[in-house]
């Protein structure tokens, strides 16, 4: 066990944890951030995606040791932002949500993509989302959602 400091959803926290513990488990069981999902546990599906320093990472592959002094944002934290509201509107209007299990990860992936590229083209969106698996939608409506968010959120990213 070790004491580590990091920032979670805008708040600086100090926690006792095993350094090899997965960030995913910490977030879900200790921080109550159950919007972060476990789909495969191998870094393949992206359901556990969170932002670290503004970039998407898979929290199932991230030991707590690597989180020290980092800025982590989960869907719960991101849901409080203006950018989230735009993405929510876009995903709703295009039909980008079905079972919803991949959705928080998709939102995080979209944020990470738009953050680095506010006006992505189709191929860039596909690459940006290719680390997040969705079994329900066939992706087209999600791709449309990112395009719509890029338009609606002009100036936000």
**Binding of residue 116 to other proteins (CB under 8 A):** no
CB of 129 to other proteins, least distance (A): 4
Rounded to the nearest angstrom, the gap between the alpha carbon of residue 40 and the centroid of all alpha carbons in its chain is 16
The stretch among 1-9, 31-39, 51-59, 149-157 that binds other proteins (CB under 8 A) is 31-39
Q: Pick from 33, 59, 112, 150: which binds other proteins (CB under 8 A)?
A: 33
Nearer to other proteins, 27 or 62 (CB): 27
| Count of alpha carbons within 13 angstroms of residue 71, beta-carbon side | 6
Dihedral angle sign, alpha carbons of residues 102, 70, 76, 61: positive
The reply on whether position 39 binds other proteins by CB under 8 A is: yes
Least distance from C-beta 103 to other proteins, angstroms?
Answer: 5
Residue 20 · residue 63 · CB < 8 Å = yes
Asked if residue 137 binds other proteins (CB under 8 A), the reply is yes
Q: What are phi and psi of 66, to 5 degrees?
A: -90, 0
- Measured CA angle at 57 (ends 53, 62), to 5 deg: 100
Residues in 4-23 that interact with other proteins by CB under 8 A? none
- Restricting to residues 45-84, name those near other proteins by CB under 8 A: 45, 47, 74-76, 79, 84
In which residue are the tokens 């969170």 written?
Answer: 50
For residue 56, give the H/E element and its range. Answer: strand 55-58
Residues that bind other proteins (CB under 8 A): 28-29, 33-42, 44-45, 47, 74-76, 79, 84, 87-88, 91-93, 95, 97-104, 107, 125-127, 129-143
């Amino acid at each position: 066990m070790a004491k580590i400091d990091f920032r979670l959803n805008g708040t600086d926290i100090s926690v006792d944890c095993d350094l090899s513990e997965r960030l995913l488990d910490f977030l879900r069981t200790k921080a109550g951030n159950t919007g972060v999902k476990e789909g495969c546990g191998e870094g393949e599906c992206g359901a556990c995606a969170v932002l670290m320093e503004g970039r998407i990472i898979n929290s199932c592959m991230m030991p707590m040791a690597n989180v020290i002094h980092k800025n982590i944002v989960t869907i719960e934290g991101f849901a409080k932002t203006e950018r989230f509201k735009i993405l929510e509107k876009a995903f709703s209007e295009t039909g980008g949500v079905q079972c919803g299990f991949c959705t928080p990860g998709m939102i995080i992936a979209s944020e990470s993509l738009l953050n680095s590229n506010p006006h992505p083209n189709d191929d860039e969106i596909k690459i940006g989302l290719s680390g997040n698996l969705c079994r329900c939608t066939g992706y087209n409506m999600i791709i449309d959602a990112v395009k719509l968010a890029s338009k609606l959120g002009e100036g936000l990213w």
